[in-house]
A and B are shown apart, each in its own frame.
Chain A
Amino acid sequence: MAETPPIDATSREALAELLLSVADDEFVIGFWDSEWTGIAPMLEEDVATSSIAQDEIGHAKVLYELLAELTDDDADRIAFGRASDAFRHASLMNHARGDWAFSVARRYLYETADQVRLAALTGSTYEPLALLAGKMRREETYHLMHADTWLRRLADGGNAGRDRLSSSLECLWTDAQEIFAPLIGEETLVREGILPEPMRAMSITWQARVRPKLEPICGALPAATPSIDGRTRRTSDFAWLHGEFTSVARSEEAATW
């Protein structure tokens, strides 16, 4: 790991917010997708989906570790020890797993947005993050290929698949914008080059890239922009998930698992 550059308190706080938002995205989507393990539509796909979910959780782990180093905390404490309203994932990840088309739609929206975000982060002046983004990007390329393959398969696989896919995309479109929701301290991050591009600009790049892919499937998608509370809104689906993944730790406080 490269030498951590000296960083002032304001920038550190903003950087922590950025790391947390990316880590929580990966953690929560990894948890939802891991729920397919053992019950995916076919055995080969079961193995593939599970592997992708593990990659996402693995990315969350290193991001939480980076954050823990920065804030003198513990990665597991951050992941499993927070109240549900302290999570900062985009509201795209607020929804339960849904059916296969819903999972494909969400993964496609997430992977394409993540690709834009990671491309920017590889240029971060905060070197540990730039290095990590480069590493994640290599894996995410395969995730994106997988999601893209499934998007096309379902779109071309007859009415049942197309209808389910189309309604999932419509349902998730607005919440997908929130991957680029403005961050607290974003101006500082951009000024310092920690975030090489404002979220709003990334959002425009992403939309320009995915609209031509999605609109032939589900028709014109409404105008949509990220909102200020895009990473703080929580749902009952997420409350359930949070209750699950904290249940063992809650059964015996302060124990090691």
Chain B
Amino acid sequence: MNDADTIQPLNARPPYAPGDAEAFYAHVGTGGKVEADDWMPDDYRAAVLKFVEMHANSELMGVLPERDWIMRAPTLRRKLALTSKIQDEVGHAQLLYRVAEDLGKPRAQMLQDLLDGKTKFHNVFHYPTRSWADVGIIAWLVDAAAIVSQQALRDSSYAPYARTMKKICWEESVHIMHGRDVVLTLMNGTEKQRAMVQEALDRWWGPLMQMHGPPTDPARDKDLHWGIKAKNNEQLRQEFLSIYVPRLLELGLTIPDPALRYDESIGRWEYTEPDWAELKSVVTGHGPASQSRLEFRRVNFADTQWVRDALLGNAAAA
């Protein structure tokens, strides 16, 4: 079991006294793990909650762009793969909301805050989909960009999150294979199908480059400092580019950034500065599909409220 390194023995005590914040931060700062029932400072708890809640929201909202295609999947195999992939994302949301719930915020409140636009979800899920090629690009590249950061989260100092990420990463790697297969099939298809992929890549490239966020000052990034996440934004973006730029070029696709190149001398990718103003605007609910997606969720949530009421046996009070 490789989980052994993150699970504390049942009767073990963390190497810090409850209430000793300084010792706690020394513990997480040197790779120590924290379990749900361990004492933790309020600001650490709040930071983990915010991080996991945003991740859970993203899984849940990330369902919607691909869901546009669930009724349009063009073959039996694609229909099964797409439905199953989206089901996985709902399952991830459920797992993550449970991790977040243990930190003290009820699931119903998290869902309400999401619907009210009080909490955020990842930038890539604020954009509309336009063709079947989007299904391939999202499952391949959006999930690939996500997995780069999610793999790093398997080392999170908050052990329940780290364990959940192991399961999620495994499933995401299956999604990437499905996405790549969709893209590959289209690229081996007709002229029109290849053009469809290029057009989708042109639209998604900007959001993909923004997805990991602007470079941060590692000294001031407390999520990094406390080991909630293990790699900084720029490291993640560089990793994504190193793996996927060669693969995209190999398929004959053109990456819509004339400045993109690998600088051997400094060992890093150079690229046109992503539009950070767009990122900020999008994640605060001003993206092209932000409000329509939230409204879609609100309408469906309201339409099924009676079911939840009936189950809780409070139909009379509703």
Residues of A whose CB lies within 8 Å of any CB of B are 31, 34-35, 37-44, 46-47, 50-51, 53-54, 57-58, 60-61, 64, 75-76, 79-80, 99-100, 153-154, 157-161, 164, 241, 244-245, 247-249, 251-252, 255-257
Contact = CB atoms under 8 A, between A and B. Distances in A.
Nearest to B186: A257
A242 to B, nearest CB: 10
Given A43-B94, A160-B315, A256-B185, A37 B307 contact: no
Given A35-B70, A248-B72, A160 B310 contact: yes
A257 B70 CA distance: 14
B83 A53 contact: yes
Contacts of A41: 304, 307-308
Contacts of A47: 87, 90-91, 94
Nearest to B192: A252
Contacts of A35: 70-71
Contacts of B84: 50, 54
B76 A60 contact: yes
Interface of B: 60, 63-64, 67, 69-80, 83-84, 86-87, 90-91, 93-94, 97, 132, 185-186, 188-190, 192-193, 297, 300, 303-304, 306-311, 313, 315-316, 318
A44 B76 contact: no
Contacts of B80: 54, 57-58, 61
Contacts of A247: 72
A32 B79 CA distance: 12
24 contacts: A31-B71, A37-B90, A38-B63, A38-B67, A39-B297, A39-B304, A41-B304, A43-B90, A47-B94, A50-B90, A57-B83, A61-B80, A99-B304, A157-B311, A157-B315, A158-B309, A158-B316, A160-B306, A161-B310, A245-B72, A248-B74, A255-B189, A256-B188, A256-B189
B132 A244 contact: no
Contacts of B72: 244-245, 247-248
A100 B304 contact: yes
B183 to A, nearest CB: 12
